[in-house]
Amino acid sequence: MPLMRGGRTPARSDERLRFLFAVARDPMLILEAGPVLSECIIVDSNRKALELFGFRRGTLMGKPLSFLEVAGQAPAETPGDRESVQEALHRRADGQVLTLERHAQPIQSGDRDFLLVAFHDVTTARLLEKSLLRVQQMDNVGVLSGTLVHDFRNLLATILANAELALSETPHPDDPRERIAEILHSARRATELIERVLPADGGEEQRLRPLDLDSVVADALALIRPSLADNIELRHDLADRGLTIAGDATQIRQIVMNLVINAAEAIAPSRGTIRVSTAPIAASRINFQESPLPVTDPGDHWVCLDVSDTGCGIDAATRSRIFEPLFTTKPTGTGLGLTAVMYAVRRHGGAILLHSAPGKGATFRVLFPLLQT
């Protein structure tokens, strides 16, 4: 296809452009010009673009640019005859999704108009930005809840101490006893709730030390089992073969409790099953990109802690916000359960993955680096 841009020596500038296009370090396509970039037809591709998208030249030629876009994700604007830069989700031949900035520039050849589109891969940059934003959001909540929790604990301690005293000092088992028992019940429940968000030492973190994941998980399940309603069956399938991780037992218990409570709430009021399992897993079988937490330089050996339920499942809208602090779909939820989980997982250098579909239950997979002993 001949190329030129209104130069006085068409044949030479044509050749020059052709050469530059072929050897450019940026991936580039040439499209037939049209009002909407996504609908413009691909007429040429340089080698870098073939590498970037992973398609053969023959496959791309004659296709609209939308062939390379993720369906429904094309930017709405039209380039008109001006230069334009857009950011859009594209797909590779192997299914991988790429975030690409694309810069379209009108060029002419004879009396025909074309667009030269150069691509710049910003996938990693956008992923990092997203993770950073999440981490910042979590830190904000961490600071906020740290002071709140401190006051909250002091208040509860006073309520509990007084109620217990009053109970022991009330001579007759009349009305007041019932009321006081209720105060005790609520205050205890409130203490449990707050323990799920931050550890008992006022938010101070214990050092990570080698621990056996299975025994900590078993402890957490023993704690939580009595509070589950009869309609829920809690099963476990622990690896039981010395899965040692560098961990903080309090935080691991929080992870298990928050995930199991969420699972139970997703099942209620029907009947259902929660399965908690642990197993060793190779890094090659983990898609770290799916985790909302960045994992830099993952080692080869990992341990997974899975919490699966047969509950209501999670739709796309909830899924896209599920790890945001304070995000909840429950009338009395705080939206801090999964934030606490994320906070703890991040501290352990771990990752978290979610598999779910509406009506099909959910599986949260928490991954920790295995400590080689």
Q: Could you give the 3-state DSSP secondary structure of residue 106?
A: strand
Which of 92, 146, 329, 355 binds ligand ATP (CB under 6 A)? It is: 329
62 contact choice in ligand ATP, Mg ion, none (CB below 5 to 8 Å, kind-dependent)? none
Using CB atoms within 10 Å of the CB of residue 81, give its burial: 0 to 12 exposed, 13 to 18 middle, 19+ buried. exposed
- Least distance from C-beta 192 to Mg ion, angstroms? 13
Does 333 bind ligand ATP (CB under 6 A)? Our answer is: yes
In the shown chain, the binding pattern of residues 281 to 310 toward ligand ATP, with x for contact by CB under 6 A and - for none, equals ----------------------------x-
- Least distance from C-beta 256 to ligand ATP, angstroms? 13
- The residue among 238, 258, 246, 122 whose CA lies nearest residue 196 is 258
> Angle between the 249-267 and 213-224 helix axes, to the nearest 10 degrees?
50
Stated as kind and residue range, the H or E segment containing 303 is strand 301-309
Binding site for Mg ion (CB under 5 A): 262, 337
Tell me how far the alpha carbon of residue 236 is from its chain's centroid.
Answer: 25
- Least distance from C-beta 305 to Mg ion, angstroms? 17
- Least distance from C-beta 229 to ligand ATP, angstroms? 15
314 contact choice in ligand ATP, Mg ion, none (CB below 5 to 8 Å, kind-dependent)? ligand ATP
Kindly tell me which of 145 and 258 has the beta carbon lying closer to ligand ATP. Answer: 258
Kindly tell me which of 181 and 326 has the beta carbon lying closer to ligand ATP. Answer: 326
Does 335 bind ligand ATP (CB under 6 A)? Our answer is: yes
Q: Radius of gyration of the chain from Cα atoms? A: 29
Q: Which stretch binds ligand ATP (CB under 6 A): 41-49, 134-142, 245-253, 337-345?
A: 337-345
Does 152 bind ligand ATP (CB under 6 A)? Our answer is: no
Kindly tell me which of 167 and 261 has the beta carbon lying closer to Mg ion. Answer: 261
Question: Between β-strands 272-282 and 232-237, what pairing exists: parallel, antiparallel or unpaired?
Answer: parallel
Q: What phi-psi label fits residue 80: left (phi over 0), alpha (psi between -120 and 50 degrees) or beta?
A: left
Phi, psi for 335 (deg, rounded to 5): 70, 20
Q: Which stretch binds ligand ATP (CB under 6 A): 16-24, 33-41, 142-150, 311-319?
A: 311-319
The side-by-side arrangement of strands in the sheet containing 84-91 is 42-45, 28-32, 112-121, 97-109, 84-91
Kindly tell me which of 250 and 289 has the beta carbon lying closer to Mg ion. Answer: 250
- The residue among 367, 358, 366 whose CA lies nearest residue 266 is 358
In the shown chain, the binding pattern of residues 241 to 260 toward ligand ATP, with x for contact by CB under 6 A and - for none, equals -----------------x--
Which of 336, 352, 353, 367 binds ligand ATP (CB under 6 A)? It is: 336
Using CB atoms within 10 Å of the CB of residue 31, give its burial: 0 to 12 exposed, 13 to 18 middle, 19+ buried. buried
Question: Which residues would be at the binding site for ligand ATP (CB under 6 A)?
Answer: 258, 262-263, 266, 309, 311-312, 314, 318, 322, 327-330, 333-339, 362
